[in-house]
Amino acid sequence: MIATNAPPYKLPTDFLWGFATASFQIEGATDADGRGKSIWDDFSKITGKTLDGRDGDVATDSYHRWQEDLDLLVQYGVKSYRFSISWSRIIPSGGREDPVNEAGIEFYSDFIDGLLARGITPFVTLYHWDLPQALHDRYLGWLNKGEIVLDFVRYAKVCFERFGDRVKHWLTMNEPWCISILGYGRGVFAPGRSSDRLRSPEGNSSTEPWIAGHSVILSHAYAVKLYREEFKAKQGGEIGITLNGDWAMPYDDSIQNIEAAQHALDVAIGWFADPIYLGQYPAYMKQMLGDRLPDFTPEELAVVKEAGGEDEFQGHVEYTFTRPDGTQLGTQAHCAWLQDYAPGFRDLLNYLYKRYRKPIYVTENGFAVKDEDKKTVEEALQDDDRVQYYRGVTSSLLAAVKEDGVDVRGYFGWSLLDNFEWADGYVTRFGVTYVDYETQKRYPKDSGKFLSQWFKEHVDNDKPSSIPATIVKV
């Protein structure tokens, strides 16, 4: 048994914990049952776009192995599972006039029933980066707010209608910063647009990220409005957004450095959280971008502000690292942008709660290792650096909730499985479960066992659950 060594507090009974995944990263079966193409299908096949030249056609084959994934979740004893729905399985050509694919609906419907039958709460992301290719071809996807907002809202509506009787936790978008900057600025994620002509035949890195981000905010806001007006009263769920951002601290207490740290927060989390929860883009972004930052029309702004109203929550992915002077405070993970710095996690949770005053769900938290560092499966299962990472962040989580009073209601480790890590292909592994890509066999790692044990010890299970029992068809 792995000793967890955290302070003796307990999280409330209804605290949701579990693991997260995303459709394109695990499902494979890209041709199955009428699915349309997503922008990642072809992009991942272009030479040089993924580190190992591999695509998402098979991934962890979870489209076929979902029962096995459910068993794994039961084995870990999770309360909840965060997964995403593939837009192009539900509406293969994506658009508001395009037909709904019943086979796609059935797949997720069965999956949701399978979770509920096992007492696991579904936590569903509507958009985790796999835009239907048809919408990119038709009107450039997120670059066309007049079209994409309407198409996204129709897709969201189909999901609320068909799954909302059983799904009570919705996230509209996963990480708009990544969608905008990595997809339309650096061009390293699909659709791969950038000003760098060696990388991309078209695109404009100085304008497109802000246009794409603006459409994502509006699509979120109009989907929330729809949920509130047509579904919330009868379905009783909640809806939010997942935002990512690095924690930043001033190097010293000079005004310049204090401001610089705030600016770093403004251009990542603030870019999206400020309009949604505070009603406007951060002043620094306006100053930095001038006319390149789109304006909201008065009508749009009213909807965006409404979307941040009292009863909603925000999901956040918390990757904690900081580099005040180029040196590292934490342990470097095996990907450039991630370090293990647990105190920063507590600070970030406090910052978010003070600034936005909303309940928080940590929708992802994880640590990367590179495949080649581990020679055997046995070695890969002893993932001490990842255990160390989770040990730190879980005690920071507990301290933030119990000592600082931050309203955190859930926590999801990224990821249930090693999986298709976007531009890194399969060489970077984030899973708490090792996947042998030859056999597709799954092996729990020490980190998965650690989290399972930690939450068993730290969620108060003496009281009856406050989550109402759900009647399911099995």
Cβ 430 to ligand PNW, closest distance in Å? 5
> What distance in Å separates the CA atoms of residue 105 and residue 160, rounded to the nearest whole number?
11
Cβ 365 to ligand PNW, closest distance in Å? 10
> What distance in Å separates the CA atoms of residue 38 and residue 99, rounded to the nearest whole number?
16
Task: Determine contact, residues 420/25, Cβ cutoff 8 Å.
Answer: yes
346 to 385: interface string for ligand PNW, x by CB under 6 A: ------------------x---------------------
Known catalytic membership, residue 208: no
> What distance in Å separates the CA atoms of residue 92 and residue 99, rounded to the nearest whole number?
8
- Does 174 bind ligand PNW (CB under 6 A)? Our answer is yes
Closer Cβ to ligand PNW, 271 or 430, answer by number: 430
134 to 173: interface string for ligand PNW, x by CB under 6 A: ----------------------------------------
Q: HSE on the CB side for 203, CA within 13 Å?
A: 28
Among 27, 61, 151, 175, the residue binding ligand PNW under the rule CB under 6 A is 175
Cβ 21 to ligand PNW, closest distance in Å? 8
Closer Cβ to ligand PNW, 4 or 365, answer by number: 365
Among 337, 441, 461, 465, the residue binding ligand PNW under the rule CB under 6 A is 337
Tokens 């092996």 identify what position?
A: 443
Closer Cβ to ligand PNW, 22 or 143, answer by number: 22
> What distance in Å separates the CA atoms of residue 418 and residue 426, rounded to the nearest whole number?
8
Query: Dihedral of the CA atoms 23, 25, 30, 35 (nearest 10)?
Result: 20
Strands 408-414 and 433-436: what pairing? unpaired
Closer Cβ to ligand PNW, 174 or 320, answer by number: 174
| Class of residue 415 by CB neighbours under 10 A (exposed 0-12, middle 13-18, buried 19+) | buried
Going 76 to 80 to 83 to 89, the CA torsion angle's sign is positive
Among 152, 414, 450, 455, the residue binding ligand PNW under the rule CB under 6 A is 414
Closer Cβ to ligand PNW, 101 or 125, answer by number: 125
Closer Cβ to ligand PNW, 296 or 390, answer by number: 390
Active-site residue (options: 27, 312, 364, 421): 364
> What distance in Å separates the CA atoms of residue 145 and residue 151, rounded to the nearest whole number?
10
Tokens 């924690």 identify what position?
A: 247
- Nearest of 457, 456, 342 to residue 400 by alpha carbon: 342
Q: Both tokens of residue 248?
A: 């930043």
Cβ 441 to ligand PNW, closest distance in Å? 21
Among 111, 284, 313, 430, the residue binding ligand PNW under the rule CB under 6 A is 430
Cβ 440 to ligand PNW, closest distance in Å? 19
Closer Cβ to ligand PNW, 194 or 244, answer by number: 244
**How many angstroms from the chain centroid is the CA of residue 208?**
22
Cβ 9 to ligand PNW, closest distance in Å? 28
- Does 60 bind ligand PNW (CB under 6 A)? Our answer is no
DSSP line for 30-54: TTGGGPPPBHHHHHTTSTTSSTTS-
**Which region, judged by CB under 6 A, interacts with ligand PNW, from 174-182, 216-224, 293-301, 466-474?**
174-182
3-state helix vs strand vs coil in the chain, percent to 5: 45, 15, 40
- Does 421 bind ligand PNW (CB under 6 A)? Our answer is yes
For residue 232, give the amino acid letter: K
Closest-approach residue to ligand PNW (CB) = 337
Cβ 178 to ligand PNW, closest distance in Å? 5
| Class of residue 357 by CB neighbours under 10 A (exposed 0-12, middle 13-18, buried 19+) | exposed
Tell me the sheet residues that pair with 17.
411
- Does 178 bind ligand PNW (CB under 6 A)? Our answer is yes
225 to 244: interface string for ligand PNW, x by CB under 6 A: -------------------x
- Does 321 bind ligand PNW (CB under 6 A)? Our answer is no
Size, binding site for ligand PNW by CB under 6 A: 11
Cβ 297 to ligand PNW, closest distance in Å? 30
> What distance in Å separates the CA atoms of residue 358 and residue 274, rounded to the nearest whole number?
12
Cβ 177 to ligand PNW, closest distance in Å? 7
- Nearest of 8, 4, 44 to residue 419 by alpha carbon: 44
For residue 214, give the amino acid letter: H
Closer Cβ to ligand PNW, 44 or 244, answer by number: 244
Among 22, 264, 380, 387, the residue binding ligand PNW under the rule CB under 6 A is 22
Closer Cβ to ligand PNW, 175 or 208, answer by number: 175
β strands within 86-161, DSSP E? 121-127
Q: Both tokens of residue 366?
A: 């994880």
Q: How many helices (H) and strands (E) does the chain have?
A: 19, 14
So which residues are the catalytic ones? 364
Residues that bind ligand PNW (CB under 6 A): 22, 25, 174-175, 178, 244, 337, 364, 414, 421, 430
